[in-house]
């Protein structure tokens, strides 16, 4: 009965939190919504920065502790410095496999026992892998904070990489990556990013053939050795928010983590090398059963420390946010009718990034869509169609309306503070400085910075779709294309 009551209470808390979040979120993303939003001048938001204390253990593990008595919950967010960046060509995909297995069984709990422990105490704990970090997230009722901390220690410190759960997970991952060759979006990611990032861990993780080669020969010892090198306390930082007493939580954290020793090797991390051989290159990945063509055009971009990130972000929102009033959407969908959808994105990593435009269109319009994108880029570059003040206002105004929605809960704010302070040396007031900077932008500055980093002349293009409908237009225009039969 006690466990049932816990689950009911916890479910009600989650439903309440979600209902508050959903009720505050815009529900209608039609053109009319954006016009209405532009007619209302939203106040510049201010994000409340919580008070917190830092606990640093002798082994280098750090905890940011912020009390929040508004709900009887206990939440954790954290990061392990180092993710897929630590992989090589011979173990591509090992980070995702490792983190999945870490959640399944430990030295003290078998798979079924660990599952029961989570269920009985209504605990949630997850690990996520990204290019440069492994993320940690979890929550419980405040009455089960000790159990959540204990679970965190089990998962991070004592994972078990031997047993049926290991063999099963490897087979599941093999099936998952085999399926990627049948998915349009996965094929687009594979052929675009493995070329953009080349012989670099960022590229290996989109090379599904490499990953399958690794999965065919992986054993538990190999994963355990990788774990010993990359999961160490000095590389872990965790934010904790909720209804707790600081002294009590500090004691629990010390009891669970203070005797954990570091054992990692020095892992080399290199920047992405730009390959000029892919500039202007066009690859068509033949997928005969595709009803439309999925296209990506882009080039290598800056790292996470790009100093002009905010004005470029606003310029890109005007150019290709994917909203109905963005330049690309107005030109290629509303005016020309070439595309079903189009947007431009920037992907930043610590050792290299990418800027790219995504298009979904009829296969027969692939070349026309490509040329139209380049034309819109040139119109901004040569100031034939410079950004307008009202365009910048609309996007700043939109950000002022929606940006605070991502930081309604204290754990979200604390999480961002921890990430920015620990990895990019920003201040506690990072979020409000961000708001101040984008609100202070002038249209001439945004125009200049965005135009400086547009390079239509080096766009690398991948198109996934039926080659019999795509190739004739390129052949007629005398444009060279490389064809990959999937």
CB atoms closer than 10 angstroms to residue 43: 8
CATH numbers and ranges of domains, the chain: 60-257 (3.30.830.10), 276-485 (3.30.830.10)
pLDDT in tens, the chain (486 residues): 445 445 444 444 444 444 433 333 334 455 555 555 556 889 999 999 999 999 999 999 999 999 999 999 999 999 999 989 999 999 999 999 999 999 999 999 999 999 999 999 999 999 999 999 999 999 999 999 999 999 999 999 999 999 999 999 999 999 999 999 999 999 999 999 999 999 999 999 999 999 999 999 999 999 999 999 999 999 999 999 999 999 999 999 999 999 999 986 777 899 999 999 999 999 999 999 999 999 999 999 999 999 999 999 999 999 999 998 999 999 999 999 999 999 999 999 999 999 999 999 999 999 999 999 999 999 999 999 999 999 999 999 999 999 999 999 999 999 999 999 999 999 999 999 999 999 999 999 999 999 999 999 999 999 999 999 999 999 999 999 999 998
**Nearest by Cα to 3 from 160, 189, 204, 140:** 140
10 Å CB burial of residue 349 (0-12, 13-18, 19+) is buried
Task: Give every CB contact of residue 82 below 8 A, 6+ residues apart in sequence.
Answer: 132, 133, 134, 230, 235, 267
With a CB cutoff of 8 Å and minimum separation 6, the contacts of 39 are: none
Say how many CA atoms lie within 13 Å of 68 toward its Cβ: 25
* CA–CA gap between residue 212 and residue 421 (Å, rounded): 37
3-class state of residue 243 by DSSP: coil
- Quick check: helix, strand or coil at residue 117? helix
User: How far apart are the C-alpha atoms of 340 and 209, rounded to whole Å?
Assistant: 31
End-to-end CA separation in angstroms for the chain: 55
Take residue 84 and report the two structure tokens written for it: 């897929």
- What pairing do the DSSP bridges indicate for beta strands 293-301 and 460-465? antiparallel
What is the DSSP track for 436-459?
HHHHT--HHHHHHHHHHT--GGG-
Residues 386 and 355: beta-carbon distance below 8 Å: no
- 118's enclosing H/E stretch is helix 111-120
By CB neighbour count within 10 A (0-12 exposed, 13-18 middle, 19+ buried), where does 431 fall? buried
Task: Quote the pLDDT of residue 13.
Answer: 46
Please name the helix (run of DSSP H) or strand (run of DSSP E) that holds residue 360, with its range, or none: strand 353-361
Rounded CA gap, 284 and 475, in Å? 13
What is the per-residue pLDDT for 171?
Answer: 98
Q: What is the DSSP string of 18-81?
A: HHHHHHTS----SHHHHHHHHHS-PPPP-PPPPP-EEEE-TTS-EEEEEE-TTSSEEEEEEEEE
Distance of CA 191 to the CA centre of its chain: 19
Q: Which residues is 236 bridged to in the sheet?
A: 80
- What are the C-alpha distances in Å from 141 to residues 76, 243, 407? 12, 9, 21
Angle at 363 between CA 358 and CA 366, to 5 degrees: 55
Give the pair of three-digit tokens for residue 77: 């967010």
Residue 37: what pLDDT? 52
**Cα 74 to Cα 154: distance, rounded to the nearest angstrom:** 18
Residue 443: which residues within 8 A CB-CB, separation 6 or more?
A: 387, 388, 389, 391, 392
């Amino acid at each position: 009965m006690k466990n049932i009551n816990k689950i009911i209470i916890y479910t009600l808390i989650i439903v309440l939190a979600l209902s508050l979040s959903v009720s505050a979120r815009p529900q209608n993303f039609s053109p009319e919504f954006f016009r209405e939003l532009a007619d209302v001048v939203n106040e510049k938001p201010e994000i409340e920065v919580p008070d917190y204390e830092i606990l640093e253990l002798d082994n280098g593990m750090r905890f940011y502790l912020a009390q929040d008595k508004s709900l009887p919950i206990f939440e954790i967010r954290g990061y392990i410095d180092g993710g897929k960046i630590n992989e090589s060509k011979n173990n591509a995909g090992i980070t995702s496999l490792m983190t999945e297995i870490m959640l399944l069984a430990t030295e003290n709990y078998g798979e079924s026992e660990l599952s029961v422990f989570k269920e009985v105490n209504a605990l949630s704990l997850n690990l996520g892998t990204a290019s440069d970090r492994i993320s940690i997230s979890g929550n419980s009722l405040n009455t089960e904070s000790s159990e959540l901390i204990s679970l965190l220690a089990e998962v991070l410190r004592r994972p078990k990489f031997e047993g049926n759960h290991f063999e099963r997970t490897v087979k599941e991952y093999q099936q998952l990556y085999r399926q990627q060759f049948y998915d349009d979006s996965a094929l687009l990611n594979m052929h675009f990013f493995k070329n953009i990032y080349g012989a670099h861990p960022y590229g290996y993780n989109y090379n599904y053939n490499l990953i399958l080669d690794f999965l065919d020969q992986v054993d538990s010892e190999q994963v355990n050795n990788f774990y010993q090198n990359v999961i160490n306390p000095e590389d872990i930082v965790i934010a904790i928010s909720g209804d707790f007493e600081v002294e009590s939580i500090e004691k629990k954290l010390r009891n669970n983590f203070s005797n954990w020793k570091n054992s990692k090797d020095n892992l080399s991390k290199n920047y992405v090398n730009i390959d000029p051989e892919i500039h202007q290159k066009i690859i068509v990945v033949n997928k005969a059963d595709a009803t439309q063509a999925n296209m990506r055009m882009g080039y290598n971009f800056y790292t996470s420390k790009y100093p002009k990130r905010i004005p470029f972000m606003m310029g890109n929102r005007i150019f290709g946010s994917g909203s109905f009033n963005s330049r690309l959407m107005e030109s290629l969908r509303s005016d020309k009718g070439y595309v079903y959808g189009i947007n431009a994105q920037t992907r930043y990593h610590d050792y290299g990034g990418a800027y790219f435009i995504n298009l979904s269109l009829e296969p027969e319009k692939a070349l026309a869509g490509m040329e139209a994108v380049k034309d819109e880029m040139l119109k901004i570059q040569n100031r034939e169609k410079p950004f307008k003040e009202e365009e910048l206002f609309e996007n700043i105004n939109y950000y002022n309306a929606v940006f605070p929605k991502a930081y309604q809960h204290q754990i979200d704010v604390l999480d961002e503070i921890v990430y920015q302070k620990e990895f990019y040396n920003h201040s506690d007031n990072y979020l409000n400085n961000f708001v101040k900077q984008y609100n202070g932008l002038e249209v001439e500055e945004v125009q200049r910075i965005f135009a400086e980093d547009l390079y239509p002349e080096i766009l690398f293009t991948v198109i996934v779709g039926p080659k019999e409908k795509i190739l004739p237009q390129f052949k007629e225009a005398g444009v060279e294309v490389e064809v990959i039969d999937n």
